[in-house]
Structure formats: structure tokens, C-alpha cells
Structure 1
Amino acid sequence: MNITLLHIDDCPSWVEAESRLSTALAGADMPGTPVKVVTVMNAAHAVALNFAGSPTILIDGVDLFPDGARASDLACRIYRTPNGLAGLPTVEQIVDALARRHRP
């Protein structure tokens, strides 16, 4: 499994997203799973990487939170969470998404 965290430097949510992703991986019995962190540099790079705003979490190149929105803009992403809109998903949302992604 290849996990990639895409981000732009101007969006501060990616730092906490990396921490939450690590916590979620441990909670999903995948501790120590490597996460590749990639800074999206420009619009062409965003399109090539399947970027949907910062932060975007990809599992084997597929957005862990697909909502149909792809971006060539270098912008922050908004997630729907149980507490309203936020700049990143909760740990629980990441754990649930990982479980859905790996159902047999």
C-alpha cells in the first residue's frame, strides 16, 4: 500500500493531517506504514498528482475522501466533519475511510 499526503506550503492544515494520519494508521492496525509527503508545486503538478486541495490523502493514487472535486488550484481543502467544515478530516474519519478502502 502506498500512502501519499499531498499539500501546499501555504496551507497549515497539512502538518496536523500528517499527525492524524499517523494516529489513524496505528488505530487501523497499520502502525509504521510509511507515508510519502509531497509538496504540490504548481497547477500542472496538481493535475498530475490527483490533487483535490491541501491536504489530500491518497492510497495507491486514489483519494481517500473522494468527493469528485479535483483542483489545479493550489488551495486549501475543506472537509465535512461531524463538527462542521474543517481543514482536515478527524482521526476517526481517516480510520473509517481506511477500513472502507480495505474491505474484501
Structure 2
Amino acid sequence: MQAMRVELLYFEGCPSAGAAEHNLREALGLEGVRAEVVPVRVETDDAAERLRFPGSPTVRLGGEDAFPVSEERERWALGCRTYVTPEGLRGSPTVGMFRSAIRAAAGE
């Protein structure tokens, strides 16, 4: 598999960004994907609007949200993001969720 572009969008102080990065890196390793994880700090609501930022942390694989949200949002702003995981609502996707998203992004 070729290298994949990966962005981790977050706001400073996000309590879940570290867990998301850890799970993402573990999933990339398990899937054998070479990728540079590029941190993208979102600092203002204006930047959130411009980046169509649904909350922190957000991971984009090849430029697309790994866990898409409705584009019909009224407002894009700084805030925490939650994910529905097998363990319930969490602030970060699980390693398994990332692995599935990576395979989907790679077209597998």
C-alpha cells in the first residue's frame, strides 16, 4: 500500500487528541500503512468554519473525514467531538474503527 496523507485536526487542550493520535498510529502500523500524521491545530471558529471542522479530534485520510458527518450543519465551530464506539460514546475512535476507516480509504 502506498503512503497515505493523514491529518489530525484538533484544538489546543483537547482531552481526546492524544488518545486519537495513539489509536490512529497503532492502526496505521497494524495495517502496514506508511503515513506522516500531520497535526492541524484549529484555533478559531473562523478557521473551524473554513476547514469544515466538526470537532476535536477529527482525522482526515486522503483529505476526507475518516468518520464523515453531515455536511448540512448550521455551524462549524471549536468543540469536542464524540464517536459511537463498541464501548459506547467516546472522545476518540478505537483502533479497530481506525483500521476499518484506513481500509475503506485505501479502497479495500
| TM-score (norm. length: structure 2) | 0.87
Output the aligned Cα RMSD.
1.6
SS where residue 100 of structure 1 aligns? helix
Pair 1:99 & 2:103 matched: yes
Shift of 1:50: 2.7
Partner deviation per Cα, 1:16-48 (whole Å, 9 max, x = no partner): 1111111010011114x1010011011121122
SS at match of 1:75: coil
Code of the residue aligned with 2:98 in structure 1: it is I
How far apart are 1:72 and its partner, in Å?
2.1
Q: What is the distance in 2 between the residues matched to 1:28 and 1:85? A: 25
Following the alignment from structure 2 to structure 1, what is the Cα–Cα distance between the partners of residues 45 and 103? 31
Q: CA deviation at 1:103?
A: 1.5
Report SS of the residue matched to 2:78.
coil
After TM superposition, the structure 1 = structure 2 runs for residues 40-79 of structure 1, keeping only pairs within 5 Å, are: 40-68=42-70, 72-79=76-83
1:38-65 residue CA offsets vs partner (Å, 9 max, x unmatched): 1101112112223110000011221000
Q: Distance in 1 between matches of 2:65 and 2:99?
A: 14
| Alignment: residue pair count | 103
Percent identity (aligned): 38
Q: 2:38 aligns to what?
A: 36
Unaligned runs of 5+ in 2: none
Contact 1:53 1:76 in 2 (8 A): yes
C-alpha contact 1:50 1:61 (8 A) present in aligned 2? no
